[in-house]
Amino acid sequence: MWLNNIITMCIWQGFIVFASLSLCHVIYAADIDYLRSTITKHFSENRHHVINNTNKVASKEFIYNEFKRFGLETSYHTFSYTKLSTVPFANVVGILKGTNFGKVNDKIIGLGAHYDTVAQTKGVDDNGAGVAAMLDVAKQLTAQNKQGVKRKNTIIFVSFDLEEQGYIGSEVFILHWLNPWLDKNYGKAARSVQPHGIIILDTVMEYNTSSNSQKLPDGAAATFHQLFPKSFESMKSDNFQGDFLAMIYRRTVDDSLATSMTKSWAAEKRPQFEIESFPLPFVDVSSLNQTLMDSFGNFFRSDHRNFWLDNIPAIFLTDSGNFRGDMVNCYHHPCDDLATMLTDDNINFLGKTSDAIARSINELSEPTKPDTSGCIRVSVSHVISALMVLAFFVL
């Protein structure tokens, strides 16, 4: 009987140690089931304001409700655009305030993904995948906060409307939501706030290891080799497989965001999923002439372009859309659907993307350690003695 009691005591002490680790340390990882179910249930049908406005509204409301469920300060940024329709349009915003909120030293970090589609597609990759990853990142980071993490810097999550209609949603967001919000909450310091910037997700789930599944724009090979020699040689050495996430940014202006993302990607392991950097050789986008805009047009194809035009740091993460694998034929077409896009490889690729972004934003938000005052504490000597006693009787 006494032997059973000792063994039971040792087992319980071991359990307490592992319970302590779970309670006192923040552990996070992408929820693959959540990513899969979010896309399947909420972002697998058309979300166009004319073709299927009912489903578009339902998707918008799902994003809002998830932000609320995660504990974000949530709101709609509603706007009209009568050139397209009399129906109201809306961006969805969720805020996780840091301790620097309202102060000039609040280095705000954002994460954005549009939820609308063009008329011809179901939009699973473009951009259901981007929204699902954004929601999973919000889920991970707010779970950390609920375990006691405190952050210095504020995080803004935003899902844009009307990206597919000339990036209208992000344009009005900056002009009519972000700038007034900064003025209201930061007062005279608003124009002195230096944000980390925003990460934009758009079409991020296509993963393809077939040779030559990664295409380049017609006649662009020499330009890519000249501007991005490291990434070009990396793609070439892999026989131009579409096995990477493309990170597009402006050299120097967006470097800190890009550096953080690169480090976070490496820390997440899973080396079969790669990342390639495409740093563009200009800073002031508004001064580019039409020839240059045309030459670099494929690098401007999402909401990051409006942040660049407003000189806000931004990086664009994408699978390259119509330049890769199935999306060569399915980009903005009906086959951007569950049957084509929701493969195990694709969803796991999306999972690493979510994890790397969560790690990067977590770092940039400058978290402090969780409050462990309520944790169960077990001394090292107790653990060692328990294990020695157990080993003695077992052996």
Residue 99 above 90 pLDDT?
yes
Confidence grade of residue 391 (pLDDT, cut at 50, 70, 90): very low
300 and 383 share a domain? Answer: no
Residue 163 above 60 pLDDT?
yes
250 and 384 share a domain? Answer: no
Confidence grade of residue 234 (pLDDT, cut at 50, 70, 90): very high
283 and 336 share a domain? Answer: yes
What H or E segment, with its residue span, contains residue 109?
Answer: strand 109-114
- pLDDT tens digits, one per residue of 100-159: 999 999 999 999 999 999 999 999 999 999 999 999 999 999 999 999 999 999 999 999
Confidence grade of residue 385 (pLDDT, cut at 50, 70, 90): very low
In this prediction, residue 370 carries a pLDDT of 63
152 and 11 share a domain? Answer: no
Q: How far is residue 160's CA from residue 151's CA, in Å, rounded to a whole number?
A: 25
229 and 254 share a domain? Answer: yes
282 and 384 share a domain? Answer: no
In this prediction, residue 17 carries a pLDDT of 44
Q: Are 101 and 190 in contact (CB under 8 A)?
A: no
122 and 177 share a domain? Answer: yes
Residue 218 above 60 pLDDT?
yes
39 and 85 share a domain? Answer: yes
Residue 328 CA, chain-centre distance (Å), reads 23
Residue 72: CB atoms within 10 A of its CB come to 22
Residue 361 above 60 pLDDT?
yes
In this prediction, residue 390 carries a pLDDT of 43
Burial of 356 (0-12, 13-18, 19+ CB in 10 A): buried
Ramachandran bin of 366, using left for φ above 0, alpha for ψ from -120 to 50, beta for the remaining angles:
left
9 and 117 share a domain? Answer: no
When the pLDDT of each residue in the chain is averaged and rounded to a whole number, the result is 89
14 and 160 share a domain? Answer: no
Report the share of the chain in percent with pLDDT over 90: 80
Residue 20 above 80 pLDDT?
no
Domain count, the chain: 2
Query: Across residues 252-268, what is the average pLDDT?
Result: 97
Domain with 278, as residue range(s), is 29-368
CATH number of the domain encompassing residue 110:
3.40.630.10
291 and 390 share a domain? Answer: no
Q: How far is residue 319's CA from residue 245's CA, in Å, rounded to a whole number?
A: 5
Per the model's pLDDT, the better-predicted residue between 356 and 189 turns out to be: 356
65 and 14 share a domain? Answer: no
The residue count for the chain: 395
In this prediction, residue 382 carries a pLDDT of 41
Q: How far is residue 381's CA from residue 30's CA, in Å, rounded to a whole number?
A: 35
